[in-house]
Amino acid sequence: MHSDEQLVKKSLQGDVEAFDELVLRYQNKVYALAYRYMGNEEDAYDMTQEAFLKAFRSLRTFKGNSSFSTWLYRLVTNVCLDELRRRKRRIVPLSLDEPLATRDGDEVEKEIVDPNPTADILYESKEFAEYILSFLHQMKPEHKAVIVLRDMMELSYEEIAQILNCSVGTVKSRISRARNILRKKIEEKELLF
């Protein structure tokens, strides 16, 4: 199996199959990242395509200063944030109870994979996830980005700094601010009940 750097080099020499291999290697992670930004399957699919198209067109700008995956995640983040800014609207959070529509027009029920949950724990988990997502979609893009990259994608501070083109200190500060905002929103909601 070739390394990312070898595949990038082959791609730059015109080997389309090498780029296809990079797409296959990263398509699931790119889609997952786009989904977390966009909040729905269709937009995530579009942003995934847009990101890979942009990656193909700008592959020559990859200098190897960071790993290919970090460069690609930065590109995906920029594509998604640009689209969200372009729309200038709040993203409606997905309900965990509503079925997903497939590209064929069929509907598929969402499932939470957990081998031993009781019904009440499952319900509480769904409810908690729903309102966390609703708060996340209300946040400023820079706060949403760091929460998605750190807490959902589990990237390091250094990788996030490279993706967002800022310092590690800025990343830590944004994460702290974003988590405080989420914590306050959760506390406010709990006070209501």
Domain count, the chain: 1
User: Is there a domain that residue 121 lies in?
Assistant: no
User: Is there a domain that residue 131 lies in?
Assistant: no
User: Is there a domain that residue 26 lies in?
Assistant: yes
Domain that holds residue 10: 1-89
Residue type, 61: T
* C-alpha torsion angle, residues 170, 63, 61, 21 (rounded to 10): -100
User: Is there a domain that residue 192 lies in?
Assistant: no
User: Is there a domain that residue 136 lies in?
Assistant: no
Of the candidates 58, 51, 104, 52, the residue with the CA atom closest to the CA atom of residue 82? 51
The pLDDT score that the predictor gives to residue 91 is 47
CATH number at residue 48: 1.10.1740.10
The pTM of the whole model exceeds 0.85: no
User: Is there a domain that residue 187 lies in?
Assistant: no
User: Is there a domain that residue 33 lies in?
Assistant: yes
User: Is there a domain that residue 76 lies in?
Assistant: yes
Distances (CA, A) of 22 to 9, 10, 122: 11, 11, 37
Q: Per-residue pLDDT for the chain (193 aa), expressed as one digit of tens each?
A: 889 889 989 988 988 899 999 999 999 999 999 998 888 899 999 999 999 999 999 999 888 888 999 999 999 999 998 888 887 655 455 566 667 666 676 776 766 554 555 566 656 667 767 777 778 888 888 898 998 899 888 899 999 999 999 999 999 999 999 999 888 887 877 666 5
